[in-house]
Amino acid sequence: MSPTARNGATPALTAILGLLALLAAAVSLVIGRDGGGPTFGFGGPELAQIIVQEIRLPRTLLALLVGGTLGLCGAALQGLLRNPLAEPGLLGASSGAAFGAVLVFYFGIAGASSLLLPLGAVGGSLLALAALYGLAGRRGDFLTIVLAGIAINALAAALTSLALNFAPSPYAALEILFWMLGSLADRSLAHVYLALPLMVPGWLLVVAAARGLDALTLGEDTASSLGFNPRRTQALVIGGTALAVGGAVAVTGVVGFVGLVVPHLLRRAVGQHPSRLLLPSFLGGALLTTLADVAIRLLPPGPELKLGVVTALLGAPFFLHLVMRNPAREA
């Protein structure tokens, strides 16, 4: 194997994934859904602009952005924690965001402005991150981070249940539950504009850690001796993930397993390099999420499945497969 062939594999994979994601996005713009199941095309020239701009474009853009965020952050977290089972939900950012959103529902102010809900979610996610840093930031070792993440997840889930318990009406409880399932339906471009300012800096922070993740392959001591402070790499990945995933959860609810599955599927193809996994995972996440969202619209008539339900249905068996298989044996 020559060095050029080795370096060449990742650009080719990246190009293919990027192309496929664009194709999926194009398909997503053409396919809609109404009470009678899937619809194709735009239903007439004067309707076309409204349908695309108001309904399908926001949905497609969010699928790409949210899926990309989950894939990228999943790959970075797996590199940081050097564990193929890590994923964005681990840090508590998702559950914190869910709780923030639930509070908005709980106080019944979600109707006041369509942006209150995502704002609540962003607040919750940032609060969860602050708690994570308060609990584990100073100690800084990876195990403490993971344990603190689990604790924050549990607390956020408990508080969310509490809100459900005291929900003012069964209808509000149902609304909360549905929102937590994660969905891309009925989103507008305003949601895109709200999520992007959080996602883009988050992505940049995560990507800035790329070489530090490579160095961590040989453990913290070697990484330090190669000039990459593991604490700095950790701050970049965790801070970036909290921002980007907070933004994603704010507009779509909790979409699980994309951040776990996508990096794992691509790891071998990029020769196990943590840094080379980042961009393909972003594109792969965007592709997978867009496809899942298209699949939802293609199902026969009936209530629309939530995106989070579909990704969990596909992801859970895969997760089980991962657990049953010793990661050390893969080459």
Partner 1 sequence: MTLSAANIEVQYEARAAVRPTTLALEPGTLVALVGPNGAGKSTLLRALAGLIAHGGTVTWRGAALARLDGRTRARTVAYLPQDPPVHWPLPARELVALGRLPHRAYAARETAADAAAVTAAMRQTDTLDFAARSVNRLSVGERARVLLARALAVEAPVLLADEPIAMLDPYHQLDVMSTLRTYVGGAGSGARLVVVVLHDLGLAARFCDRVLLMDDGALVGDGPPETTLGSAAIRAHYRVEPFIARHDGEPLIVPWRSLKERSGD
Q: Does 211 interact with partner 1 (rule: CB under 8 A)?
A: yes
**Of 43-51, 53-61, 135-143, 209-217: span binding partner 1 (CB under 8 A):** 209-217
Task: For residue 123, give both structure tokens.
Answer: 């607040």
Q: Does 11 interact with partner 1 (rule: CB under 8 A)?
A: no
Contacts of 70 (CB under 8 A, 6+ apart): 88, 245, 248, 255, 258, 259, 262, 285, 289
Computed on alpha carbons and rounded to an integer, the radius of gyration of the chain in Å comes to 20
Q: Which of 45, 169, 221, 302: binder of partner 1 (CB under 8 A)? A: 221
Tell which residue, 69, 89, 117, has the closest CA to residue 251: 117
Q: Which of 39, 82, 265, 309: binder of partner 1 (CB under 8 A)? A: 82
Task: For residue 77, give both structure tokens.
Answer: 């977290």
Q: Does 248 interact with partner 1 (rule: CB under 8 A)?
A: no
CB of 245 to partner 1, least distance (A): 23
Q: Does 224 interact with partner 1 (rule: CB under 8 A)?
A: yes
Contacts of 28 (CB under 8 A, 6+ apart): 56, 59, 60, 63, 290, 293, 294
Q: Does 144 interact with partner 1 (rule: CB under 8 A)?
A: no
Q: Does 225 interact with partner 1 (rule: CB under 8 A)?
A: yes
Reduce the DSSP state of residue 37 to 3 states and report it: strand
Q: Which of 273, 314, 318, 322: binder of partner 1 (CB under 8 A)? A: 273
Closer to partner 1 by Cβ: residue 324 or 331: 331
Please report which helix (H) or strand (E) contains residue 40, including its range.
strand 37-40
Residues in contact with partner 1 by CB under 8 A are 1, 3, 6-7, 82, 210-211, 214-219, 221-222, 224-229, 267, 271-274, 328, 330-331
